[in-house]
Amino acid sequence: MRPLKGVLLGLLMLPGLALAETIGEVSTVFKWVGPNDKIVVEAFDDPKVAGVTCYLSRAKTGGVKGGLGLAEDRAEASIACRQVGPIAFKDTLKDGEEVFKERTSLVFKTMQVVRFFDARRNTLVYLVYSDRVIEGSPQNAVTAIPILPWGQ
């Protein structure tokens, strides 16, 4: 019982990262066994900035390995963040702060979204990239949201 309490307490102490909601997906490669390869579109709200939603598209590997969660997904991803309501900061923002992270292989590879604040232009900038423990990928995508008044 004590180990279980320790694990639950450890999970509660993790920094708050956004959880993605699947918006849709399209099949790209037919697989005879297991799920098809696909492109998945997910949405998540920035946990520290109310009024911002990011949409992420990425490849998911299918087949037997993909169905079992053992396949390594490709590093390519695309991101588009939008103002969907009045923008309000819930907490202090740190440049390069991770707002979303998802495992893209069994152990060593993750895809993550980090946020920057361009004070000079009053703009939030979001960067998506993939990394590995040993060697990351230079493939990335960026989106920016100017902070504007919302409605009257």
pLDDT tens, 24-35? 988 776 667 766
For position 13, what pLDDT does the model report? 37
User: Percent of the chain, pLDDT > 70?
Assistant: 66
For position 33, what pLDDT does the model report? 73
For position 9, what pLDDT does the model report? 38
DSSP string, 25-87: EEEEE--SSSPPEEEEEEEEE-TTEEEEEEEEEEEE--HHHHHHT-SPPPS-EEEEEEEEEEE
pLDDT top residue among 8 and 39: 39
Q: Which stretch of DSSP H or E encloses residue 8?
A: helix 2-13
pLDDT top residue among 122 and 37: 122
User: Minimum mean pLDDT among 22-26, 46-50, 69-73, 95-99: which range?
Assistant: 69-73
For position 115, what pLDDT does the model report? 97
Rounded to an integer, the average pLDDT of 91-105 is 84
Model pTM score:
0.75
